[in-house]
Chains A and B, each alone.
Chain A
Amino acid sequence: NAGVMQNPRHLVRRRGQEARLRCSPMKGHSHVYWYRQLPEEGLKFMVYLQKENIIDESGMPKERFSAEFPKEGPSILRIQQVVRGDSAAYFCASSPTDSSYEQYFGPGTRLTVT
């Protein structure tokens, strides 16, 4: 039973480019969370999605960041016009239902902006 999958594991982008991070939840899980981990810091919540719905995006920066979880396919975290401060590890987690508080984390995507 595959766990949460994220790709790419490492992503290098120049300032001003776009970054697309993908997350495939565990089989049977329809709830996805994105977190960001800046160097020397803990994880910070960004967004919570269910299939085709954004439930809570209170942790998302107001500009340049967007997320989706389509009916088919992985969840996508998109960062437009990346800046150096976007360099971080981005983790996706999934859970089976909205009443399950146990979240299973993927290995993360490490974004480096040069």
Chain B
Amino acid sequence: AQSVTQLGSHVSVSEGALVLLRCNYSSSVPPYLFWYVQYPNQGLQLLLKYTTGATLVKGINGFEAEFKKSETSFHLTKPSAHMSDAAEYFCAVSATLAGSARQLTFGSGTQLTVLP
């Protein structure tokens, strides 16, 4: 079984400031981890994913995330926020074992506001 906890349902940062969105997961098997972004009234767009290999993964729009197994975390960061980053962000986990369910388990989301 898997679960995802996103700390902070709302995060506000100033334009140009660091963005840090927190995600902790629980999984009984090695996880695959994802961050998605959702703009109002739109579907989800994949920002980045961790499957295997390098634990620091880079995604689109300048975002990156680091998989820390010891902390069961996969926090999302961006060095400098832009107004266009304002959106809702979802962390998700899926199982990796062959034959395991492929569905994504999502966190409850973090709404990012970027202040001018």
Contact = CB atoms under 8 A, between A and B. Distances in A.
Interface of A: 4, 31, 33, 35, 41-45, 48, 56, 58-59, 91, 93, 95, 98, 101-108, 110
B51 interface: yes
Interface string B20-48: 00000000000010001000011111100
Given A101-B32, A101-B102, A43 B46 contact: no
B94 A4 contact: no
Contacts of A58: 101
Contacts of A104: 46
- For the residues of B in contact with A, the DSSP-based class is loop
A108 B43 contact: yes
Given A48-B101, A101-B51, 8 more contacts: A41-B108, A45-B105, A91-B43, A102-B49, A103-B46, A104-B46, A105-B43, A107-B42
A62 B70 CA distance: 38
28 contacts: A4-B43, A33-B104, A35-B104, A35-B106, A41-B109, A42-B106, A42-B107, A43-B44, A44-B106, A45-B104, A48-B101, A48-B102, A48-B103, A56-B101, A91-B43, A93-B104, A95-B102, A101-B32, A101-B49, A101-B51, A101-B94, A101-B102, A102-B46, A102-B49, A103-B46, A105-B43, A105-B44, A108-B42
A47 to B, nearest CB: 9
A85 B42 CA distance: 21
B49 A33 contact: no
B11 to A, nearest CB: 16
B103 A33 contact: yes
A105 B45 contact: yes
A39 to B, nearest CB: 11
Contacts of A44: 106
B41 to A, nearest CB: 8
B104 A103 contact: yes
Contacts of B43: 4, 91, 105-108
A58 B102 CA distance: 12
B35 to A, nearest CB: 12
Interface string B78-111: 0000000000001000101000011111111100
